[in-house]
Amino acid sequence: MIKSTAHCLLCEHKKMDFTTGVYCGVTEKKPTFAEKCTIKEFGEGLEQKIVELDSNLKLIENRKSGIYLHLYTFLGIALIVLIADYLFTIALWETGWMTTITLIIGATGLGLIPYAVTPLNKFKNQLKIANKSVLELDFILELYNIQYEIETKLLKDSHDIINIENTLVIIKNNKRENIKNYSKTNAKLSIDY
C-alpha cells in the first residue's frame, strides 16, 4: 500500500517541515484521502520526479557490465589462488613439509570471494529500490489517468563523467500535454568497489 503522502510529494501544493513532515499546503493538514486526492495539482515537481527516478534507474542499469566484470575477474583470481594453493600444498606434502603459509594463501583466496560478490549485491539492491520507486510513481499516476513517455540518454565523456539528456512527454486523459527536454551535466558514475 502506498502512503497518501507519496501523492503529496508529487503535488505543487505540498509543504514540508521537520515536525509534521509532508502535508497539504491547501488544507494545512496531513492527507486524509483514501485513494486519490481531489485538490492535487501536478506540474513541474511531478516532471522533475519522473526525470529524477528515470535517470537514477538508467545510471544504475548502466553499471551492470562493470559490476559483472568485477565479479568474474575477482572470482577468477580467487579460483586461481585456491588452485595454486592446493597444488602448492600437495607438492609440499609429498616432500614431507607442512607450513601455515598454505593456509594463509588459501584464506586469501577465500577472502576474495566476498570482495567479488559485495558490489553485485549492492547493485541488485539499488536496482530493486529504483524499480520499486518507478512502479510506485506509475501506480500513483495511473490513479489520476496520467501517463508519461521518457527517453533518457547517458552521454559519457572520456573521464567517466555522464551527461544525462531526458525528453519527457506527459499524457493526461490520453492527450499529449507537453514535451520538455531536461539535461543534467556532470552526473558522475559512482562505483564504490
For residue 53, what are the domain limits? 5-14+42-188
Q: Would residue 141 count as lying in a domain?
A: yes
State the Cα–Cα distance between residues 8 and 14, nearest whole angstrom: 6
Question: Can you give the pTM of this predicted structure?
Answer: 0.81
In a domain, 62, yes or no: yes
In this structure, is residue 21 part of a structural domain?
Answer: no
| Overall domain count for the chain | 1
Q: How far apart are CA 41 and CA 34, in angstroms?
A: 17
What is the separation of C-alpha 174 from the centre of its chain, rounded to a whole number of angstroms?
30
Residue 161 lies in a domain: yes
The confidence score (pLDDT) of residue 187 equals: 65
168/106 Cα distance (integer angstroms): 53
pLDDT recorded at residue 110? 96
Please report whether residue 65 resides in a domain. yes
Task: Specify if 37 maps to a domain.
Answer: no
- DSSP letter (8 states) at residue 106: H
Q: What is the pLDDT of residue 189?
A: 47
Strands (E), the chain: 14-17, 21-24, 146-156, 161-172, 175-188
Per-residue pLDDT, 176? 86
pLDDT at residue 57 in the model: 93
The per-residue pLDDT for 1 is 59
* Residuewise pLDDT in 10s, the chain (193 residues): 577 778 888 888 888 888 888 888 888 888 888 788 888 888 888 998 999 999 999 999 999 999 999 999 999 999 999 999 999 999 999 998 888 999 999 999 999 999 999 999 999 999 999 999 999 999 999 989 999 999 988 888 777 778 888 889 998 888 887 778 888 876 654 444 3
Q: Is 22 inside a domain boundary?
A: no
Inside any domain, residue 24: no
